[in-house]
């Protein structure tokens, strides 16, 4: 069933299309781990309104540990330019 608040992909200007299930390498601050995008959700920007939504990329390492939610601006720091 399609959930409009949980898209399976998101277009990021300058980086291309990012899909749930995509992986990326995190070498930030010597973490050195592969991460996978588990889910993309649309969340309220201000936390109190559903009028402005932004994507949140829920990621974890390949073993399902170290989960975190990244905004688009946080995620692009891990992505190569296309």
pTM of the model: 0.82
- The whole-angstrom distance between residue 65's C-alpha and the CA centroid of its chain comes to 15
> Which residue bears the tokens 């190569």?
80
The answer to whether 28 and 77 are in contact (CB under 8 A) is yes
Distance from the Cα of residue 24 to its chain's centroid = 10
Name the 3-class secondary structure at 73.
Answer: helix
Of 36-40, 51-55, 56-60, the least confident: 51-55
| Confidence class for position 10, pLDDT limits 50, 70, 90 | very high
């Amino acid at each position: 069933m399609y959930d409009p608040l949980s898209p399976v992909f998101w277009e990021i200007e300058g980086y291309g299309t990012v899909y749930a299930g995509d992986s990326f390498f995190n070498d930030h601050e010597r973490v050195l781990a592969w991460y996978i995008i588990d889910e993309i959700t649309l969340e309220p920007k201000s936390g109190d309104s559903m009028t402005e939504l932004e994507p949140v990329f829920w990621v974890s390492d390949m073993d399902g540990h170290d989960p975190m939610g990244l905004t688009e601006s946080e995620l692009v720091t891990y992505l190569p330019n296309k």
